[in-house]
Structure 1
Amino acid sequence: MTDPSAVEVPPSCYRHPDRATYISCQRCGRPICPECSTQAAVGVQCPECLRQGRAATGGGLARALRPRRSGFVTYTLMALVVVAYAGQWLSGGALTSAWVLNPTVVGAEPWRLVTSAFLHSPGTIIHLLFNLYALWAFGPALEAFLGKARFLALYFTAALGGSIGVLTLYALAIATNGASVEATGGFLAPGAALGASGAVFGLLGAYLPLRRAIGVNVGSLLIVLGINVVLGFVAPSIAWEAHLGGLLVGAAIGWVFLRTRRPAQRPTQIGSVAGIAVGLLVVFVLFVASAPLFYGV
């Protein structure tokens, strides 16, 4: 028999006591239902805290003249990707060679784990356009919810996770002396990789645990995710392992953000996200240390 008193009862919205909710105001901590929550620069706020914040920052004219911050980091990342793509063409491929995630030299040039996320295939502009569209469609809302610093931490750690996903296939091929490639008919064949897809999939992964707090339709999100995951497996020359690596890391960081939303939990939040990034780097070091000659060391 279960003691009814031991069953956890979800809190109720302070404005609508008949509505159970797990969403809390980021400023005052009171439980609020989706109808009473308003997306702010960081988290969601209740109507009272929203009004207080608006009163503290001046009237309508002052707000209109103040530059809008939502999406600034997203659009900056998009601009950097475009600049890097132009650099690939103008350098005659030299920038691509210097920044691409080439497993055979990444041990001596570890910056490729991140720089490869700013490159795209010079052979087709579709690769670039898809990632730009995904950033434009999903980045600003997530950036507004998390804030700039946390959004950047999510983006770059997910990019790192995508790179580790690529290196995992390479490490598996080395450990099995190529048997993993032969047994799967080349499906697990490692190779060089480039593109922002790992970071983009990290943003999509973060939406999964944060979907209720942000107010995202999970059905639409799962459709987008499903289509792109399947394309990674059936379309040629797509690093599906980078997609999965970024997706898993993004989901893990999103879960951390969800569970550490209160100001008092900020040290735990920072430590947890940093721990995920350090863990990925430890995996990279172990890969290189296990077979240094294969990584160009």
Structure 2
Amino acid sequence: MTNPEFHANPDNFCYRHPGRQSFVLCQRCMRTICPECQTQAPVGVICPECMQDQRRSQTPAQRRAHRRWGARSMTAVGGRPLATYWILAITSAVSILAELPGVGAVIKNVLLFAGAYLYPSLSGLPFEPWRLLTALLVHGGFIHLGLNMLALWMVGQQLEPLLGRARFLTLYLVSGLGGSVAMALIDPAQPTVGASGAIFGLFVALIVIGRHLGGNIVGALVVLAINFVYGFIVPGIAWEAHVGGAVVGALVALVYVRTSGRRNAKFWWIGLVAVIVLVLLVVVAVVPPLLITAGR
């Protein structure tokens, strides 16, 4: 039951519908709003007037992004990049376990990737193709893990809300696959670990999509160039995975850009990305054995 003071206080009722009781506040103007007046935003819920003000203050690039991507976003309520958080949590947990004395070496040996695991008739090793992706879960130490997870957190917060959870996760995994395929093509005997190929794919995708939307991509280009150069000049870094992830990430981003706004867009992007994955698997299954056989 409520007392007369409660009913006399307008803050207990929607400011647009005074007869509707509510305890939810607009996160921008802090006025009470009923469910009909609530619009989900990255910071919570906002009222229709604040939503109009927010849209009026958008840049042309932001408006284009909202028209092309916002209406079909598949991210969680509130725009939180949940797929990014889950990747961070799972990768960090597995990588930390892989650094523990005793069990760490076993975990790394089970999950790392080397092209030799794809060609048992040539290497004598068991056929374990799942290593193409499990290598994303382990890293070469805490610094390697920290740098990759920091980059994932930075890029994921921008890219996942734009693409939606399904497209973002697909981009991450297919870019990681591209990095492993590049390692198998260029240096099949070299074992590798880390999510760097997937991270580079995300970076390049952000640049491709940002350029398409008319955004300022200079900063992202500088960061990407520095990381590419660093990978080439510092020994022990699998630059092959960087290149493979970046190339595949660019291709997937182009698919997203070209299919956005089409009728049956989901059908198109899933089909075209599946073609990219199929091509990668065929190439990695056929090319290295031919090169190894020819070199004998």
- TM-score between the two structures when normalised by the length of structure 2: 0.69
Q: Which runs of 5+ in 1 are unaligned?
A: 1-31, 50-65, 172-189
1:83 is matched with 93
1:34 aligns with 2:60: yes
Q: In structure 1, what is the Cα distance between the partners aligned to 2:213 and 2:154?
A: 14
After TM superposition, the structure 1 = structure 2 runs for residues 227-246 of structure 1, keeping only pairs within 5 Å, are 227-246=226-245
Q: CA deviation at 1:208?
A: 2.4
Q: In structure 2, what is the Cα distance between the partners aligned to 1:227 and 1:36?
A: 27
2:280 is matched with 280
1:128 aligns with 2:134: no
Q: In structure 2, what is the Cα distance between the partners aligned to 1:36 and 1:220?
A: 17
Q: CA deviation at 1:236?
A: 1.1
1:157 is matched with 174
* Partner AA of 1:160 in structure 2: L
1:167 aligns with 2:184: yes
* Partner AA of 2:281 in structure 1: L
1:271 is matched with 271
2:156 is matched with 139
Q: In structure 2, what is the Cα distance between the partners aligned to 1:67 and 1:157?
A: 25
Q: In structure 1, what is the Cα distance between the partners aligned to 2:213 and 2:243?
A: 23
Q: In structure 1, what is the Cα distance between the partners aligned to 2:222 and 2:64?
A: 26
After TM superposition, the structure 1 = structure 2 runs for residues 151-230 of structure 1, keeping only pairs within 5 Å, are 151-170=168-187, 191-212=190-211, 216-230=215-229
For residues 30-51 of structure 1, give each alpha carbon's deviation from its aligned partner in whole angstroms, at most 9, with x where no partner exists: xx97167175597146xxx9xx
Higher relative contact order (CA 8 A, sep 6+): 1
**Residue in structure 1 matching 2:112, options 81, 100, 114:** 100
**Residue in structure 2 matching 1:68, options 46, 58, 78:** 78
Q: Is the contact made by 1:42 and 1:147 (CA closer than 8 Å) also made in structure 2?
A: no
1:109 is matched with 128
* Partner AA of 2:160 in structure 1: E
Q: CA deviation at 1:216?
A: 4.3
CA 1:198–1:156: 2 relative to 1, 3 Å = same
For residues 170-199 of structure 1, give each alpha carbon's deviation from its aligned partner in whole angstroms, at most 9, with x where no partner exists: 36xxxxxxxxxxxxxxxxxx5111100000
Q: In structure 2, what is the Cα distance between the partners aligned to 1:99 and 1:287?
A: 23
Q: In structure 2, what is the Cα distance between the partners aligned to 1:109 and 1:241?
A: 20
Q: CA deviation at 1:215?
A: 6.1
Q: CA deviation at 1:76?
A: 0.5
Q: In structure 2, what is the Cα distance between the partners aligned to 1:77 and 1:40?
A: 25
Q: CA deviation at 1:141?
A: 1.4
Q: In structure 2, what is the Cα distance between the partners aligned to 1:254 and 1:79?
A: 25
Larger Rg computed on CA atoms:
2
* Partner AA of 1:93 in structure 2: A
Q: CA deviation at 1:289?
A: 5.0
1:118 is matched with 137
For residues 187-236 of structure 1, give each alpha carbon's deviation from its aligned partner in whole angstroms, at most 9, with x where no partner exists: xxx51111000000000111222014556421101100000000010011
Q: Is the contact made by 1:199 and 1:246 (CA closer than 8 Å) also made in structure 2?
A: yes
Q: Is the contact made by 1:37 and 1:44 (CA closer than 8 Å) also made in structure 2?
A: no
Q: CA deviation at 1:79?
A: 0.5
Q: CA deviation at 1:279?
A: 0.8
After TM superposition, the structure 1 = structure 2 runs for residues 12-27 of structure 1, keeping only pairs within 5 Å, are none
Q: Is the contact made by 2:81 and 2:156 (CA closer than 8 Å) also made in structure 1?
A: yes
Identity value in percent: 35
- Structure 1, 244-253 or 211-220: larger mean CA deviation: 211-220
Aligned length: 223
- Structure 1, 279-288 or 69-78: larger mean CA deviation: 279-288
CA 1:216–1:238: 2 relative to 1, 3 Å = farther
- TM-score between the two structures when normalised by the length of structure 1: 0.68
For residues 57-79 of structure 1, give each alpha carbon's deviation from its aligned partner in whole angstroms, at most 9, with x where no partner exists: xxxxxxxxx95342100011011
- Structure 1, 151-160 or 84-93: larger mean CA deviation: 84-93
Q: In structure 1, what is the Cα distance between the partners aligned to 2:94 and 2:292?
A: 30
- Structure 1, 33-42 or 238-247: larger mean CA deviation: 33-42
Q: Kindly report the root-mean-square deviation, in angstroms, between the aligned alpha carbons of the 2 structures.
A: 2.6
